[in-house]
Structures are given as structure tokens and as C-alpha cells.
Amino acid sequence: MRWRRHELQRWERWKAGSFQVLRVPDGVIVDFHISEVLAPFVSTVRGEGRTVFDAGFRWVYFTPLAQQHSVILALDAANVPLQVYVDITQGNRLDPDGIPAIDDVFLDVLAWVAPAADGQWRLGEPEVIDQHELEAALAVGDLSPAQHAAAWAEARRVVDMLSTGRFPALEIIRSYLTHS
């Protein structure tokens, strides 16, 4: 496992931008506005690649402090949602400076977002990625069998919530975007 802070400034593709941290009832939102990048980033979900990180884009993180996941919604330069990226975690915390950090257990769940005419977001079929990292962590003893099982259980729970359109973390982000 690895503690990871929600800071794009340390990512090798980030060049310039701004961010805002906001406490909400169930966790913390970090809203990144990306103004310059060293290189765009193309993400692949179910074999389809799309640019999700580029100048003018926005990443909104929501870290629920009492859950075992953290969510990133990538938006394009027109603020159109592109992708939901869910880190499966063993826990989430706030660092002393108020920036959320996650205890990342390597497994992630991704889905494309397709905005509909009625203002709703239609999610594509979720995909679990980085299973090899999870298995490697188990093999070398960085994760116990119980932690490994918990990561898979949370990933399946997230896939189910995304598939049924009942994912509270995504609704918190949607509400934030509607009112910001």
C-alpha cells in the first residue's frame, strides 16, 4: 500500500494550474483547474482511449473519509464530464494542511461518462484495472490476504454502484458542480 495525496502538482505531466479544497459533510473535495500540462494524458477504458488530462481540463476529486475509495471526475475544457476514476483504498485521511490522502491498495475502477440531453450522466460499463499491481503486492507481502479480499470486495461494490447509477460519491461531485 502507499499513501498518496490528492496533489496534481507532483505529477510529471502537470505544469500549472490552481486548486481549491472544500470540506463537505461526508469528506473533502479538491477541484483542480489545469492551465498548462507538460504532456496530455490519454486514458483507456475497455479498449477505448480518450484524452482526460490537458490544458483547460478540470479534475474534481472527492474523498469520503469513512469509505474505502476515492473518486476523480475528469472534465474537459468545456466542463463536460469525461471519466470517473475510482481508487480503491484501505482508508482515507486529511493531512495536517487539509489535503486528503488515500491509502491506495492498487486496484482502480474506471468508466466513461456520457452527458445526456436531460442533464444526467450516463456511465459506460465500468472496468477494474491494475489487478496485476494488487496481486504483486499480495505476493511480496505488502498486502495481507484479508486486505487483498477487502480490496476486491470494495471494487465489486463500486462496480455495482456505478452500473446501477447509485454511487453516492458521484452524486456529491455532481451536486458540487451544479452549485459551484
Helices 131-139 and 145-164, interaxial angle, to 10°? 160
Domains and CATH numbers, the chain: 2-179 (2.40.380.10)
Q: Which pLDDT tens digit goes with each residue over 20-76?
A: 999 998 999 999 999 999 999 999 999 999 999 999 999 999 999 999 999 999 999
pTM of the model: 0.93
Dihedral sign (CA 126, 167, 90, 81)? positive
Closest C-alpha among 157, 171, 146, 165 to residue 109? 157
| 3 CB-near residues (< 8 Å, 6+ apart) | 101, 102, 103, 104
